Structure 1
Amino acid sequence: MAMNGMKCIHIGEMSGIVEARQTAMNFCKTKGFSEVLSGNVSLIVTELATNLVKHAGSGELLIRSCTEGDVSGIECLALDRGMGITDIGGSLRGKYPATAGKETGLMAVRRLSSLFDLYSIPEKGTAVLSRIETRSPEPVSDPPHPLCSTRPEVGVVCLPLVPDEPCGDGWEVIRSENRTVILVIDGLGHGPEASKVQVEAIRVFRKNPAGEPVEILRNLHAALRNTRGGVAAIAAIDEERGRVTYTGAGNISGRIITGHVTNKMVSLSGTVGDQIRQFSEFSYPWVTEALLIMYSDGLTMQWDLEDYPGLERKHPALIAGVLYRDHTRGTDDVTVLAVKLVGETS
């Protein structure tokens, strides 16, 4: 699963809509989208950004490109702390007239999206996910393994502290057979030198994701000796064994949430590329309905998913987006990565 840069546009007035649309068009050009697909993206971004101004006063529009196998796409995530939507079903069924604005806008967004999801709580705000996808005509270089019965459904927010500055945080998710391996890396500090750490870590991880997490961490530790170093965590979900194996050095945090039960995963102290006194793995139970969330210290630890009724049933991108919206520190780069495993036919 390719990690691609994410852009965050703060929408507080109509000029922000123009910036959001131009940002989206730059993504479309990079992805080689057709004129029709680019037009759809432009309309979706315009509707989402306009809604943020008209109905919430302000908000953020997060845009990233994403690639998985032969599917290439652009993802838009609109986040606000407005009044919320009291009648979501009616809004999406076109119950309201065109002059109602937001409801008609959401109808258009859903119609044009390859993937659409929405989460809203009255008085607390709304999060809207839209993804526009296209399949490559070229053969897939790494097709799914025939033993795979599920695929990872991933949602992520990964943003630098300073807009347009290279991000010191990074992530990757790799699937093979019935095993999904996840890396979250945070280069010390932020800016270009921190970004070099995460780029090198992801390069090394992609070369050998088949090892156990502690072996992968040892490889990263050796490879990052000539950098400023960072903190990292690796989780391997083994469906056949029903276990998650986890290792971490530094303040990357992880949780496995199953219904009302939360397992907080353990990372030990240390700096990858500098000093790690102890390499240890920890094992946790995993079931099909579980949700895994990993995050850097750009997110506070004072959050509880039970404060968001029904959010765990939503797409992981909405989960990551809502946690980012409400719990980002605003003092460092930030990564929030949510992963579910879903059936291939779902």
Structure 2
Amino acid sequence: MDFNFDAHQQFPLADRSFLNIVRRDIGKIAEAVGFTEAEVGRVSLVVTEMSTNLLKHVGSPGGELLVKPICQENGSVCGIELLCLDNGPGMSDPQRMMEDGVSTFGSMGQGLGAIKRQSDFFDIYSQRSTGTVILSRIYKKGKAPKVAARNEQGFEIGSIMVPKPGEKVSGDGWSLRLSYKGAYLIVLDGLGHGENAHAAAQSAVQSFQQQPKVAPSDMLRGVHAAIKKTRGAVGAIAHWNAETRSLAFCGIGNISGRLIGASQAKNLLSYNGTLGMNVPNTINDQQQTWERGQMIILHSDGLKSRWDLSKYPELTRHDATLIAAVLYKDNTRTLDDTLVVVVRATE
């Protein structure tokens, strides 16, 4: 199973003059993580098709590409994830648009089909008036995960993490620890942004990884004690267990959490306070059911809190990272680091 804790690198596409620069820089990322010449060529082709489609159908100021290496549990890089986000007119039938020769703009209509063919994993979400998000993952030879391996823990997880424009690192952070038939997840937002916020979030992640696997509220107290020499962070921990069909959640500060079920959505409330500075004397876990198909979505305040999944028909059927990307595209504040983590129960 792949777990990706790094931030996405953002490549805005204001106009066609940026295309060669973006293609070159993303190609360098692929080379740096050990892709072969042929694999770099696949990445460059996907970037070219994504960028061309984006500029053709959206126009100025264009949209953006998000890119990050895909890492395995041992930290080794096994692939690259590419996302194309636009707020253009969208498509009413994106599956038909992937057929070669089909186009609503009079072009040859080969872009989406080419992206899918070059990708080891491909997903797309588009609807009229809300734009399009395309997800492509390209793996090194022999490194693509098997479907059975992705689902063996009983959940699917995806994320979008983008630093504040102008910053090289994100002050947000997240991490995952597997447990029997489930996992512990921490989502963090270091106070402010930049290097000091990043250091606070990473210190909290390191403490989380060392905590005993106990109740989320107890783990948060351990993190609180460990990061008192940093500027502090807000954070939340969720623990889900597919065997007992249960979810436990505890948060300190303004990390937003929402549990999405088949018929309703429920907000997960956090306590006032700041990890590393001040937390309430008494904190307890919220207990919820955790059934197949349910999702928990956690995000920092870089994302507006009033998002509504009902605006996106059939979105919950898509890949967890693509869901996070759609929410990011339409709801990021752009004035802070943004982190969105989506977890879906698969059994």
TM-score (norm 2): 0.90
Alignment partner of 1:271 out of 266, 274, 281: 274
Give the Cα separation in 2 of the matches to 1:33 and 1:204: 33
Determine the structure 1 residue equivalent to 2:43: 41
In the aligned structure 2, how far is the partner of 1:31 from the partner of 1:321?
23
- The Cα shift of 1:339 comes to 1.4
Return closer, same or farther for 1:251/1:25 CA change in 2, 3 Å cut-off: same
Instruction: For 2:208 and 2:292, locate their aligned partners in 1 and report how far apart those are by CA, in whole Å.
Output: 25
Asked whether the 8 Å contact 2:154–2:242 carries over to 1, the reply is no
Q: Please list, as runs of the form range in 1=range in 2, the aligned pairs for 1:4-153 lying within 5 A after superposition.
A: 4-57=6-59, 58-69=62-73, 72-96=78-102, 100-101=106-107, 103-134=109-140, 149-153=152-156
Task: Note if contact 1:8-1:163 (Cα within 8 Å) is conserved in structure 2.
Answer: no
Match in the other structure for 2:250? 247
**Offset at residue 245 of structure 1 (A):** 0.5
Q: Residues 28-73 of structure 1, C-alpha deviation per residue, up to 9 Å, x if partnerless?
A: 1232111111110111111111111111111111111121347722
Query: Does structure 1 residue 228 correspond to structure 2 residue 231?
Result: yes
Deviations 1:213-233 (A, max 9, x none): 112211110111000001000
Distance 2:28 2:287 in 1: 43
The answer to whether residue 195 in structure 2 is matched with residue 184 in structure 1 is: no
CA deviations on 1:229-250 (whole Å, 9 max, x unpaired) are 0100011111111111001100
Secondary structure, in 3 states, of the residue corresponding to 1:182? strand
Deviation per CA, 1:296-344: give whole Å up to 9, x if none. Answer: 011111111011111111111111111111111122111111112337x
| Distance (Å, rounded) in 2 between the aligned partners of 1:195 and 1:286 | 31
Q: Which residue matches 1:195?
A: 198
Matches within 5 A, 1:261-340: 261-277=264-280, 278-340=282-344
Q: Match of 2:82, SS?
A: strand
> Any idea what the Cα deviations from partners look like across 1:133-179, whole Å, max 9, x if unmatched?
23678xxxxxx89xx84354222111111334321001122323202
CA distance in 2, matches of 1:314, 1:64: 20
State the alpha-carbon separation in 2 of the partners of residues 95 and 341 from structure 1. 38
Is the Cα contact below 8 Å between 2:7 and 2:160 reproduced in 1? no
Indicate if the aligned counterparts of 1:3 and 1:66 stay in contact, CA closer than 8 A.
Answer: no
Q: Which amino acid in 2 is paired with 1:214?
A: S
State which drifts further: 34-43 or 19-28. 19-28
Gaps in structure 1 of 5+ consecutive residues: 138-143
Deviates more, 1:22-31 or 1:269-278: 22-31
Name structure 2 gaps, 5 residues minimum: 144-148
- Tell me what 2:146 maps to: none
What is the SS of the residue equivalent to 2:258? strand
Paired with 1:163 and 1:323, the residues of 2 have a C-alpha distance of: 21
**Does the 8 A contact of 1:214 with 1:279 survive in 2?**
yes
Task: Indicate conservation of the 8 Å contact 1:77/1:127, yes or no.
Answer: yes
Q: 1:171 to 1:120 in 2, by over 3 A?
A: same
Counterpart contact for 1:75–1:132, Cα < 8 Å: yes
Q: Structure 1 residues 237, 310: CA separation in 2 closer, same or farther (over 3 Å shift)? A: same
Q: What is the TM-score normalised by the length of structure 1?
A: 0.91
Amino acid at match of 2:85: L
Query: Partners in 2 of 1:339 and 1:46 — Cα distance?
Result: 31
* Greater CA drift, 248-257 or 4-13: 4-13
**Match for 1:81: what amino acid?**
N
Contact kept in structure 1, 2:180 and 2:241, CA below 8 Å: no
Q: For 1:209 and 1:314, locate their aligned partners in 2 and report how far apart those are by CA, in whole Å.
A: 34
Shift of 1:87: 2.8
Cα distance change of structure 1 residues 102 and 85 upon mapping to structure 2, 3 Å threshold: farther
Contact 1:242/1:286 (<8 A) preserved: yes
| 1:103 counterpart SS class | coil
Does the 8 A contact of 2:190 with 2:198 survive in 1? yes
Q: 1:101 to 1:71 in 2, by over 3 A?
A: farther
Number of aligned pairs? 335
Counterpart code for 1:122: R
Give the drift of 1:101.
4.2
Is the 8 Å Cα contact of residues 176 and 185 (structure 2) preserved in structure 1? yes
User: Which residue of the partner structure matches residue 168 of structure 1?
Assistant: 171
Deviations 1:168-207 (A, max 9, x none): 0011223232022111110001111101011111122223
| Distance of aligned partners of 1:86 and 1:231 in 2 relative to their CA distance in 1, 3 Å threshold | same
SS in 2 for 1:216: helix
Q: Secondary structure at the match of 2:112?
A: helix
Q: Is the 8 A contact 1:181 1:209 kept in 2?
A: no
Q: Percent identity?
A: 35
Match of 1:140 in 2: none
RMSD: 2.2
Q: Does the residue aligned with 1:9 lie in a helix, a strand or coil?
A: strand
User: Per the alignment, in what secondary structure is the counterpart of residue 110 of structure 2?
Assistant: helix
Q: Distance in 1 between matches of 2:200 and 2:107?
A: 45
